[in-house]
Amino acid sequence: MSIPAVEESWARIEAWLARHAPVSRARLRPPAAGEEIRAAERELGLMFPPDLVASLRCHDGADHGEGAPEVAYYGPPARVADIVRHTAMLRDIGTDLGDVDGDEDELGAYWRQEWLLITLGAAGQASDGLFLTVRPGPGHGRVGHSRTEDAPVFTPWSSLRHLLADFAEALEEGRPFAGRVPVGIDGELRWEDDRSVVSDPVSPLALAARSAEPEPPAPGGPADLSAPTPTEDRGAGPRLTFVRVAPPRPQPLPDQPDLVFAEGLTPAELLRRLGAIPATVRPRSRPHAEHAAASPWAAHRPMVRAGTTGGWAYAVQEEGAAQFVRPEVLRAVSEGTRAVALTRQGPEVRRTVVVDGVPDEEAVRLVMSPRENVASVPDRMLARRLGVDPWPGSTAAYARLLTELDGEFGIRYRPGDDAGTGLPSALLLPLLDDLPDPACGPAGEVRGFDLAALVDRTPPERLRRACAAQLRRLAAETGIDAYPEIADALARTGRAERNGPDAGERLGPDAREPLGLDAATNLGLGVGDPLDLRIRTLAAETWAARQSVRDGTGPVGPEDLSAWIAREGAAQALRAFVLLPVPMAAERILGLRLSARWRDELATDLGEVGTQPAAGRVNS
Cβ-count burial of 329 within 10 angstroms (0-12 exposed, 13-18 middle, 19+ buried)? Answer: buried
Query: CB–CB of 27/13 below 8 Å?
Result: no
- Arithmetic mean of pLDDT, 419-424: 95
The CB-side HSE value for 20 (13 A sphere, CA atoms) comes to: 21
The CB-side HSE value for 226 (13 A sphere, CA atoms) comes to: 4
At residue 616, the pLDDT reads 44
613 vs 287, more confident: 287
Say which residues have a Cβ less than 8 Å from residue 414's Cβ, sequence separation at least 6.
Answer: 402
* Residue % of the chain over a pLDDT of 70: 84
**In 373-528, where does DSSP find H-type helix?**
392-409, 451-457, 460-478, 484-499, 517-523
CA-to-CA dists, residue 217 to 14, 80, 288, 591, angstroms: 71, 70, 6, 47
CA-to-CA dists, residue 596 to 25, 163, 190, 601, 609, angstroms: 22, 22, 11, 10, 17
Which residue type is seen at 78?
A
| Listed range (24-28, 307-311, 500-504, 578-582) with the worst mean pLDDT | 500-504
Instruction: Give the H/E segment covering residue 91.
Output: helix 80-96
DSSP code of 27? H
Reported pTM:
0.79
pLDDT of residue 226 exceeding 80, the answer is no
pLDDT of residue 620 exceeding 50, the answer is no
pLDDT of residue 366 exceeding 50, the answer is yes
Query: CB–CB of 493/578 below 8 Å?
Result: yes
At residue 612, the pLDDT reads 42
CA distance 490 to 589: 14
Nearest CA-CA partner of 63 in 23, 13, 101, 96: 23
At residue 122, the pLDDT reads 73
| Listed range (145-149, 220-224, 500-504) with the worst mean pLDDT | 500-504
At residue 525, the pLDDT reads 83
pLDDT digits (tens, 9 = 90+) for 326-344: 999 999 999 999 999 999 9
CA distance 39 to 20: 36
Give the phi and the psi of residue 381 in degrees, each rounded to 5.
-95, 160
Neighbours of 219 (CB within 10 A): 7
pLDDT digits (tens, 9 = 90+) for 428-441: 999 999 999 888 88
At residue 1, the pLDDT reads 59
Q: Enumerate the β-bridge partners of residue 131.
A: 117, 144
How long, in residues, is the chain?
620
The CB-side HSE value for 384 (13 A sphere, CA atoms) comes to: 7
Give the phi and the psi of residue 193 in degrees, each rounded to 5.
-70, 130
pLDDT digits (tens, 9 = 90+) for 171-216: 999 889 988 899 998 899 999 888 889 999 999 999 999 999 998 8
pLDDT of residue 548 exceeding 70, the answer is yes
Query: CB–CB of 349/367 below 8 Å?
Result: yes
pLDDT of residue 504 exceeding 80, the answer is no
At residue 507, the pLDDT reads 32
CA distance 275 to 278: 9
Give the phi and the psi of residue 298 in degrees, each rounded to 5.
-80, -25
Say which residues have a Cβ less than 8 Å from residue 515's Cβ, sequence separation at least 6.
Answer: 493, 496, 501, 505, 506, 507, 577, 578, 579
- Arithmetic mean of pLDDT, 261-277: 98
pLDDT of residue 253 exceeding 70, the answer is no
pLDDT of residue 606 exceeding 50, the answer is yes
The CB-side HSE value for 146 (13 A sphere, CA atoms) comes to: 29
- Arithmetic mean of pLDDT, 68-95: 91
| Listed range (161-165, 578-582, 615-619) with the worst mean pLDDT | 615-619
CA distance 527 to 457: 37
523 vs 617, more confident: 523
550 vs 151, more confident: 550
pLDDT digits (tens, 9 = 90+) for 111-167: 888 999 999 987 677 778 999 999 888 889 999 998 877 888 999 999 999 999 999
DSSP code of 480? G
Query: CB–CB of 188/62 below 8 Å?
Result: no
pLDDT digits (tens, 9 = 90+) for 456-495: 999 999 999 999 999 999 999 999 999 999 999 999 887 6
pLDDT of residue 308 exceeding 70, the answer is yes
The average confidence (pLDDT) of the chain is 87
